């Protein structure tokens, strides 16, 4: 009976250590902002602030590479998307893990999505899927859900 309790204690400690460790690794912080450019147009800015030593990938990654950053927006009768989500010019380097050149961002990156407004004020909801890596490992793909208020 003592051995069973000891085993349960060890398992509980391991789960605690693993879950604590997983919570510490959150190297990307996301934020959103908007700018109304006219009564019928606005831009939603989605910013990733990336911890030193880590990087996320471009929206444009070749087949067989890492998970590309991607955006999806919740459809609304209040606005329509105007074109695709744009990004600045990424860095590029050969990554042995993927056996190819990959495009990525370090430190911070701001993605922009233009919207055509059918209403003066609205909320643009969506999510970004991304993968973050450092020089030795990659974390599983993650998602960030956002709501951007346009006033």
Under a CB-based contact definition with an 8 Å cutoff, are residues 112 and 45 in contact?
A: yes
pLDDT at 42 over 80: yes
Give the architecture-level CATH label for domain 27-148. Answer: Sandwich (2.60)
Distance, in Å, from the CA atom of 44 to the CA atom of 34, rounded to the nearest integer, reads 5
List the chain domain ranges: 27-148
Query: What is the model's pLDDT at position 120?
Result: 86
Digit-coded pLDDT (tens) for 90-125: 999 998 888 999 999 999 999 999 999 999 899 999
Sort 114 into a burial class: Cβ within 10 Å, 0-12 / 13-18 / 19+: middle
The pTM score is: 0.83
Distance, in Å, from the CA atom of 35 to the CA atom of 116, rounded to the nearest integer, reads 12
């Amino acid at each position: 009976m003592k051995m069973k309790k000891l085993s349960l204690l060890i398992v509980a400690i391991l789960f605690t250590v693993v879950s604590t460790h997983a919570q510490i690794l959150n190297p990307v912080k996301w934020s959103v902002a908007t700018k109304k450019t006219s009564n019928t147009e606005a831009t939603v800015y989605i910013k990733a602030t990336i911890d030193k030593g880590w990087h996320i990938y471009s929206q444009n990654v070749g087949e067989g590479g890492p998970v590309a950053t991607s955006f999806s927006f919740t459809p609304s009768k209040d606005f329509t998307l105007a074109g695709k989500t744009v990004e600045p010019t990424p860095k590029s380097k050969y990554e042995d893990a993927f056996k190819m050149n990959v495009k990525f961002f370090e430190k911070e990156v701001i993605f922009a999505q233009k919207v055509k407004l059918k209403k003066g004020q609205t909320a643009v909801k969506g999510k970004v899927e991304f993968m973050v890596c450092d020089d030795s490992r990659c974390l599983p793909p993650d998602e960030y859900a956002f709501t951007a208020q346009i006033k």
